[in-house]
């Protein structure tokens, strides 16, 4: 009981100190200038038992509109009513959004001359008519960290793609990321049609089931790794991020496994089992053409007697083909 009483007393004291700080910060003594109101007198900062600090988007918008050449978002929306849906960009309560700054003119530039000229499109900045590099310069004014940190000079940037190639600020069809297409797969498939076609092959591919998407492995905004990979510096590091049992280290390493998983597997899907680029045993025979076994198990002399030609493969015996830790596993049989 004593411990519980001490806890409630501490909580009450903490709340009292918080209210005191709010009172000292707000100032004033009357109903409109009392500690329960801000300097304008219309936004309560203490409500009930919660101390709330409210954003003031109206003040930010008014400050932006007051600058020379800017007319404010309300003036823009008077004509462009169909452009009012901005998604995340339209959250005025967030100080990092365009609407919290100059509103529409954060991206389109000052609109005073455009308004005075009766809507002359030559006097306003329209990303749809700009060069790709100029559009990217507008977007990367804010989007220059995290996912977009390496956009400049990336593969997509060098090929004259820009943010509005995939994203739409006013009319999008996806549930997130404001994509022009309905999904990440459809967006990437606009250009990478060969990769999307592979997803429909018989080999199991989780992308078809919605468990993965292109951006799970790749960062379309730029990466310091090969092939815009999101994880690791090599293809192997990206693959073993999920397939950890293939990572090793192994006492006996298989050279193609160590070098590149894509030597034997196609991560986008194939017509063979296990996403192999060729069927067994022909895949193994690409490298192992002269071994203890006959150099070719499907030549004329082996067709009638070979027990490994039909419905069989090298991995029947060499089951630990990705590597072995057994002292006698140099042939990957253990």
Sequence ranges of the domains in the chain: 58-125, 132-230, 249-334
Per the omega criterion (within 30 degrees of 0), is the bond before 249 cis? yes
What pLDDT, on a 0 to 100 scale, did the predictor assign at position 37? 38
CA–CA distance from 196 to each of 35, 185, 187, 222 (Å)? 61, 8, 11, 20
What pLDDT, on a 0 to 100 scale, did the predictor assign at position 125? 93
**Alpha-carbon span 45 to 234, nearest angstrom:** 53
Is the Cβ–Cβ distance between 124 and 111 less than 8 Å? yes
Per the omega criterion (within 30 degrees of 0), is the bond before 281 cis? yes
- List residues bridging with 37 in a β-sheet: 44
Is the Cβ–Cβ distance between 155 and 228 less than 8 Å? yes
Q: End-to-end CA distance of the chain: give it in Å, rounded.
A: 65
Per residue in 150-179, pLDDT (tens digit) is 999 999 999 999 999 999 999 999 999 999
**Alpha-carbon span 61 to 72, nearest angstrom:** 7
pLDDT tens for each residue of the chain, 334 residues long: 455 555 555 555 556 555 454 444 444 443 433 333 333 334 333 333 333 333 444 444 444 445 788 999 999 999 999 888 888 898 888 888 998 889 999 999 999 999 999 999 999 999 999 999 999 999 999 999 989 999 999 999 999 999 999 999 999 999 999 999 999 999 999 999 999 999 888 777 788 888 899 999 999 999 998 899 998 889 999 999 999 999 989 999 999 999 999 999 999 999 998 999 998 888 888 888 766 666 555 555 655 666 555 566 788 888 999 999 999 999 999 8
């Amino acid at each position: 009981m004593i411990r519980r009483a001490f806890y409630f007393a501490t909580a009450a004291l903490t709340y009292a100190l918080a209210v005191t700080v709010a009172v000292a910060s707000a100032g004033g003594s009357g109903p409109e200038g009392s500690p329960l109101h801000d300097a304008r007198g219309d936004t309560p900062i203490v409500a009930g038992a919660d101390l709330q600090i409210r954003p003031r988007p109206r003040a930010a918008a008014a400050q932006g509109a007051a600058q020379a050449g800017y007319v404010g978002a309300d003036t823009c929306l008077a004509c462009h009513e169909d452009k009012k849906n901005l998604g995340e960009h339209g959250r005025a309560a967030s100080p990092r959004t365009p609407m919290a700054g100059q509103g529409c003119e954060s991206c389109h530039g000052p609109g005073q001359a455009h308004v005075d000229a009766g809507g002359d499109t030559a006097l306003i900045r329209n990303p749809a008519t700009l060069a790709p590099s100029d559009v990217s310069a507008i977007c990367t004014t804010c989007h220059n960290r995290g996912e977009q940190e390496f956009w400049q000079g990336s593969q997509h940037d060098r090929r004259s793609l820009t943010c509005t190639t995939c994203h739409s600020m006013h009319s999008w069809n996806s549930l997130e990321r404001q994509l022009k297409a309905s999904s990440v797969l459809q967006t990437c498939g606009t250009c990478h049609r060969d990769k999307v076609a592979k997803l429909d092959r018989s080999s199991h591919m989780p992308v078809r089931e919605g468990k993965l998407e292109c951006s799970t492995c790749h960062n379309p905004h730029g990466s310091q790794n090969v092939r815009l990979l999101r994880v690791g510096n090599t293809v192997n590091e990206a693959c073993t991020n999920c397939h950890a049992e293939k990572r090793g280290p192994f006492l006996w390493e298989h050279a193609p496994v160590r070098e590149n998983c894509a030597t034997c597997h196609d991560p986008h899907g194939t017509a063979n089992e296990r996403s192999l680029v060729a069927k067994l045993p022909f895949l193994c025979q690409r490298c192992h053409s002269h071994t203890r076994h006959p150099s070719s198990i499907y030549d004329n002399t082996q067709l009638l007697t070979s027990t490994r030609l039909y419905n069989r493969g090298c991995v029947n015996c060499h089951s630990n083909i990705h590597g072995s830790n057994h002292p006698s596993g140099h042939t990957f049989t253990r």
